[in-house]
């Protein structure tokens, strides 16, 4: 093969050198890398804030911060984690980087819009930082900005809400780009049932991003107007309806949890077959379940509102619909586990993270059942049970899928491999810490400890102390994981084109890929998870090397 | 059936079925990882799908999920259908305390007193932002919204004391918005009710 420059090393055109080659790039891979560093920055910030919150809750009364700071801190933790980490993490980093390659094309459909989307993301983050230090400080409303409290509080709600609005725009444009890319730029030889499952999951996600985000955008603007002009949409003092806000808010924010989890499920659907060296079980069922989750997940928003005072008929309908969303999710879990039946499984850090994902996400999904059921939800709604449940799905689920994706695609993105031993230690610490951190919260919730509590009754002391100890372990594990990845730049252990024996198109291009992704015409497989070539090559003794 | 019992049975039903699923998934997954590790099992089988199995694991969970929905809904109706003859008390949430107003216009703050062995209906409303009236012991919770009355009901048993909490974040001292529920024997309750405020 002639010398091929990776996209990192490709000479830039005149006038676009140095930092400009990055800041004005249209290359989906560079944008993916730029998202990576920004997202990791925000993740570390919000992780630290979350850790400090648990330290505060370690003992009754004041431990390290006042109630004012605590209330702003959990809002900050939620806003950053939701809008700056969980929503963008997998689509913006790995979606941008790998969706075009998995489709056998050279970029997304609107590369300039892709760059704009990155700037909107950065701008939204910047506004969030500014709102920390201006006009009353960061909001103390919780990330849900429930009215009428958010309309009345003196803290800087408008700016933070505007930041979320901007971040929503960024998310929408990314979704638009993915939909158009899948439709218009897919390799001619690639039919719908030949698209890799990660790209399929991004496609389903993109529709939700595109259709649901405008609802929250409008709602957040209405909050700003309500505060600025006293319109009386949501404020009961002026004849407004607080429940209207909750409906509008969850009409986006519930589908948004599927925006958060679907790409993670897509990552797992790539990792499990790769290290099983075996076709994914039930490819079509997984595709259909992704679309099913996207559609059904958009119709269950009011299950956040069983105690709100809405009609019992609404509770009945939304509870029923909620249980139906459980089915496609269960189908995916069964398919992943079945893929490993009679497989040839190689343990690696990405696979370990994926297996931990399946366990933690199953706990998260199954504990969601008592929240979907009407009678039981009344007891645990707005308690620590809910906190634990959504951290199992969003952190144990999306978070661990993100870690799995980092370890899976790191050698492709940077062409280097990290230390396995440290990666295993970090994963183990994080998993054990995770369990000790969040399982006590389930018990606290069953005992009746509400969420967003700065202080608590004596019967909740033991659980909170235990959660803090688990939190420390979790924090150390994740920091070790991130440090291990960064250390790979120092050692620079060069990775091959296909270190894992993957079969999707990104494993046929150099690591890191060249500017235009493909050096030869991509060879689209009849069935995307056909490992026969890998096995033939293996048997011929050419371990890990596949001719593109 | 007692509504608390109904809710608790729904919890047990869902938790036990979930635990069976979780144990099954985990055990099978870990077993496969060891049984089919590459060192022992270098040649994978080529199995892509099996529509019978897939149909089975779609239909059975659907039936189980619908049964959970139904159990949950049944226990919810227990929380909503107030029996005749319930003692009615107004419960008003404000930043950051609960106000209770009884039939005879007696008013208490952060102290709810009710008779034993009696159904109690609390009419809940807020005086300012959202709150949520929560008594863990009776599995009841309802948001307090201004100009939008809601209710909870529960049946008291033996005399005793229970916690009342605010479950909807309402600002600075949200976690201090804690009240006491005291269940008194019927005669003592009447005495207490007839006492003039100090």
pLDDT tier for residue A151 given thresholds of 50, 70 and 90: confident
Give me the sign of the Cα torsion angle A265, A271, A276, A279: positive
In the predicted structure, residue A148 carries a pLDDT above the cut 90 = no
State the number of CA atoms in the 13 A half-sphere of A280 facing the CB. Answer: 33
pLDDT digits (tens, 9 = 90+) for A79-134: 999 999 999 999 999 999 999 999 999 999 999 999 999 999 999 999 999 988 88
- Hey, which residues 31-70 in chain B have their CB within 8 Å of chain A? 32-33, 36-38, 41-50, 53-54, 57-58, 61-62, 65-66, 68-69
Q: Are A219 and A229 in contact (CB under 8 A)?
A: no
- What would the two tokens of residue A212 be? 């649901």
DSSP 8-state code for residue A302: G
Mean pLDDT for the stretch of residues A466-484:
96
**Best mutation target, A78, A373, A382, A431, to test chain B (most B CBs within 10 A):** A373
What percent of chain B shows pLDDT beyond 90?
A: 97
A370: contact with B, CB 8 A cutoff = yes
In the predicted structure, residue A286 carries a pLDDT above the cut 50 = yes
Mean pLDDT for the stretch of residues A186-192:
95
Predicted local distance difference test score (pLDDT) of residue A135: 78
The answer to whether the Cβ–Cβ distance between A337 and B129 falls below 8 Å is no
pLDDT tier for residue A137 given thresholds of 50, 70 and 90: confident
Predicted local distance difference test score (pLDDT) of residue A543: 47
Q: Are A497 and A508 in contact (CB under 8 A)?
A: yes
pLDDT digits (tens, 9 = 90+) for A9-30: 888 777 777 888 899 999 999 9
Task: Name the superfamily (CATH) of residues B87-194.
Answer: Cupredoxins -  blue copper proteins (2.60.40.420)
Mean pLDDT for the stretch of residues A210-221:
93
Domain range list for chain B: 3-80, 87-194
- Hey, which residues 228-247 in chain A have their CB within 8 Å of chain B? 236-237, 241-243
Choose among A139, A144, A141, A147: nearest CA to A233. A147
Predicted local distance difference test score (pLDDT) of residue A87: 95
- The Cα A44–Cα A442 span in angstroms is 25
A334: contact with B, CB 8 A cutoff = yes
Place of tokens 């969706």: A99
**Best mutation target, A379, A457, A526, to test chain B (most B CBs within 10 A):** A379
pLDDT digits (tens, 9 = 90+) for A315-343: 999 999 999 999 999 999 999 999 999 99
Count of A–B CB contacts within 8 Å?
262
Burial zone of B155 (CB within 10 Å; 0-12 exposed, 13-18 middle, 19+ buried): middle
Choose among B157, B148, B146: nearest CA to B181. B157
Predicted local distance difference test score (pLDDT) of residue A546: 47
The answer to whether the Cβ–Cβ distance between B44 and A346 falls below 8 Å is no
pLDDT digits (tens, 9 = 90+) for B45-63: 999 999 999 999 999 999 9
Mean pLDDT for the stretch of residues A309-313:
94
Mean pLDDT for the stretch of residues A60-83:
94
- The Cα A369–Cα B17 span in angstroms is 10
- Nearest Cα of chain B lies from the Cα of A19 at a distance, in angstroms, of 45
DSSP 8-state code for residue A147: T
- Hey, which residues 124-143 in chain A have their CB within 8 Å of chain B? 140-142
**Best mutation target, A238, A324, A375, A386, to test chain B (most B CBs within 10 A):** A375
Write b or e for each residue in A370-407: b if 16 or more Cβ atoms lie within 10 A of its Cβ, otherwise e.
bbbbbbbbbbbbbbbbbbbbbbbbbbbbbbbbbbbbbb
Q: Are A235 and A282 in contact (CB under 8 A)?
A: no
Predicted local distance difference test score (pLDDT) of residue A435: 97
For the ranges A207-211, A234-238, A398-402, B166-170, the lowest mean pLDDT is seen at: A234-238
Please list the residues that pair with B37 across neighbouring strands: A345
**Best mutation target, B23, B28, B76, to test chain A (most A CBs within 10 A):** B76
- The Cα A486–Cα A479 span in angstroms is 11
pLDDT digits (tens, 9 = 90+) for B75-88: 999 999 999 999 99
A363: contact with B, CB 8 A cutoff = yes
| Phi-psi map region of B24: left, alpha, beta (phi>0 left; psi -120 to 50 alpha) | alpha
Q: What is the CA radius of gyration of chain B?
A: 25
| Phi-psi map region of A194: left, alpha, beta (phi>0 left; psi -120 to 50 alpha) | alpha
Burial zone of B9 (CB within 10 Å; 0-12 exposed, 13-18 middle, 19+ buried): middle
Facing residue for B167 by CB, picked from A236, A333, A450: A450
pLDDT tier for residue A547 given thresholds of 50, 70 and 90: very low
| Closest chain A CA to residue B166 | A450
The pLDDT mean for chain A works out to 93
Mean pLDDT for the stretch of residues A257-277:
96
Residue B80 vs residues B75, B98, B117: alpha-carbon distances, Å: 9, 22, 18
Domains and CATH numbers, chain A: 20-539 (1.20.210.10)
- What would the two tokens of residue A134 be? 């201006």
Q: Which ranges in chain B belong to alpha helices (H)?
A: 3-35, 51-80, 186-194
Facing residue for B72 by CB, picked from A307, A337, A373: A373
pLDDT digits (tens, 9 = 90+) for A488-528: 999 899 999 999 999 999 999 999 999 999 999 999 999 99
- Hey, which residues 250-289 in chain A have their CB within 8 Å of chain B? 276-285
The answer to whether the Cβ–Cβ distance between B175 and A355 falls below 8 Å is no
In the predicted structure, residue A292 carries a pLDDT above the cut 80 = yes
- The Cα B39–Cα A487 span in angstroms is 30
Facing residue for A67 by CB, picked from B37, B75, B173: B173
Helix, strand, coil percentages, rounded to 5, for chain B: 40, 30, 30
DSSP 8-state code for residue A192: G
Choose among A356, A377, A354: nearest CA to A308. A377
pLDDT tier for residue B198 given thresholds of 50, 70 and 90: low
Predicted local distance difference test score (pLDDT) of residue B150: 96
State the angle between helix axes of A283-296 and A312-339 in degrees (0 to 180), rounded to the nearest 10. Answer: 160
Choose among A509, A503, A501, A504: nearest CA to A538. A501
A122: contact with B, CB 8 A cutoff = no
- Give the fold, CATH level 3, of B3-80: Helix Hairpins (1.10.287)
| Closest chain A CA to residue B136 | A448
B154: contact with A, CB 8 A cutoff = no
DSSP 8-state code for residue B151: E
pLDDT digits (tens, 9 = 90+) for B92-131: 999 999 999 999 999 999 999 999 999 999 999 999 999 9
Residues 6+ apart with CB under 8 A from A243: A305, A308, A309, A310, B145, B148
- The Cα A306–Cα A304 span in angstroms is 6
In the predicted structure, residue A1 carries a pLDDT above the cut 80 = no
A52: contact with B, CB 8 A cutoff = no
Predicted local distance difference test score (pLDDT) of residue B197: 64
B171: contact with A, CB 8 A cutoff = yes
């Amino acid at each position: 093969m002639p010398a091929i420059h990776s996209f990192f090393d490709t000479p830039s055109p005149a006038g676009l050198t140095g930092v400009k080659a990055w800041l004005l790039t249209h290359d989906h891979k560079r944008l993916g890398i730029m998202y990576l560093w920004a997202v990791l920055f925000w993740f570390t910030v919000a992780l630290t804030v979350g850790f400090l919150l648990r330290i505060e809750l370690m003992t009754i009364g004041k431990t390290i911060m006042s109630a004012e700071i605590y209330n702003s801190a959990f809002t900050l933790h939620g806003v950053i984690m939701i809008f700056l980490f969980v929503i963008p993490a997998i689509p913006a980093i790995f979606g941008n980087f790998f969706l075009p390659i998995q489709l056998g094309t050279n970029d997304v459909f609107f590369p300039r819009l892709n760059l704009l989307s990155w700037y909107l993301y950065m701008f939204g983050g910047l506004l969030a930082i500014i709102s920390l230090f201006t006009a009353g400080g960061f909001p103390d409303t919780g990330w849900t900005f429930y009215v009428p409290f958010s309309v009345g509080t003196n803290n800087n709600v408008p700016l933070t809400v505007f930041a979320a609005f901007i971040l929503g725009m960024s998310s929408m444009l990314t979704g638009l780009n993915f939909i158009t890319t899948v439709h218009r730029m897919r390799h001619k030889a690639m039919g719908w049932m030949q698209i890799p499952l990660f790209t399929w999951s991004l496609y389903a996600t993109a529709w939700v991003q595109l259709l649901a985000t405008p609802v929250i955008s409008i709602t957040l603007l209405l909050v700003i107007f309500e505060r600025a002009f006293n319109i009386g949409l949501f404020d009961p003092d002026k004849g407004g309806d607080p429940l209207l806000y909750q409906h509008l808010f969850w009409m986006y924010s519930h589908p948004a949890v599927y925006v958060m989890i679907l790409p993670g499920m897509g990552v797992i659907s790539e990792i499990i077959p790769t290290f099983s060296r075996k076709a994914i079980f039930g490819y079509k069922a997984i595709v259909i379940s992704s679309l099913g989750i996207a559609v059904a997940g958009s119709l269950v928003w009011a299950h956040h509102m069983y105690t709100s005072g809405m009609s019992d008929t609404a509770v009945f309908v939304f509870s029923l619909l909620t249980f139906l969303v459980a089915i496609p999710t269960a189908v995916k879990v069964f398919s992943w586990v079945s893929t490993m039946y009679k497989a040839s499984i190689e343990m690696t850090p990405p696979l370990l993270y994926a297996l931990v994902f399946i366990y933690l996400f199953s706990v998260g999904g199954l504990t969601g059942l008592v929240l979907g059921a009407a009678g039981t939800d009344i007891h645990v709604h707005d308690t620590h049970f809910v906190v634990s449940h959504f951290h199992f799905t969003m952190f144990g689920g999306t978070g661990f899928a993100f870690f799995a994706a980092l370890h899976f695609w790191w050698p492709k993105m940077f062409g280097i491999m990290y230390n396995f031993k440290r990666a295993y230690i970090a994963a183990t610490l994080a998993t054990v810490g995770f369990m000790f951190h969040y399982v006590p919260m389930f018990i606290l919730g069953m005992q009746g400890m509400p969420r967003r509590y700065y202080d608590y009754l004596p019967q909740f002391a033991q659980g909170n102390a235990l959660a803090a100890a688990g939190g420390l372990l979790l924090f150390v594990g994740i920091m070790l994981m991130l440090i291990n990845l960064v250390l790979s730049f120092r050692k620079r252990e060069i990775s091959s084109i296909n270190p894992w024996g993957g079969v999707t198109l990104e494993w046929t291009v150099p690591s890191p890929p060249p500017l235009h992704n493909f050096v030869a015409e991509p060879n689209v497989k009849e069935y995307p998870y056909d490992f026969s070539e890998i096995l033939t090559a293996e048997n011929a003794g050419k371990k890990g090397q596949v001719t593109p | 059936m007692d509504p608390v019992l109904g809710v608790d049975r729904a919890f047990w039903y869902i938790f036990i079925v979930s635990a069976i699923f979780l144990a099954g998934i985990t055990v099978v997954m870990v077993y496969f990882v060891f049984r089919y590790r590459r060192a022992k099992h270098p040649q994978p089988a080529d199995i892509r799908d099996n529509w019978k199995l897939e149909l089975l694991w779609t239909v059975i969970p659907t039936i189980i999920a619908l049964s959970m929905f139904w159990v949950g809904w049944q226990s919810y109706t227990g929380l909503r259908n107030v029996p005749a003859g319930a003692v009615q008390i107004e419960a008003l949430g404000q930043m950051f305390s609960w106000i209770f107003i009884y039939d005879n216009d007696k008013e208490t703050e952060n102290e709810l007193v009710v008779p034993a062995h009696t159904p109690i209906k609390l009419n809940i409303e807020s005086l300012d932002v959202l709150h949520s009236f929560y008594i863990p012991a009776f599995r009841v919770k309802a948001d307090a919204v201004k100009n939008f009355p809601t209710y909870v009901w529960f049946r008291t048993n033996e005399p005793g004391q229970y916690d009342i909490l605010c479950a909807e974040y309402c600002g600075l001292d949200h976690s201090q918005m804690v009240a006491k529920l005291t269940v008194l024997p019927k005669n003592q309750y009447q005495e207490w009710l007839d006492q003039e405020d100090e």
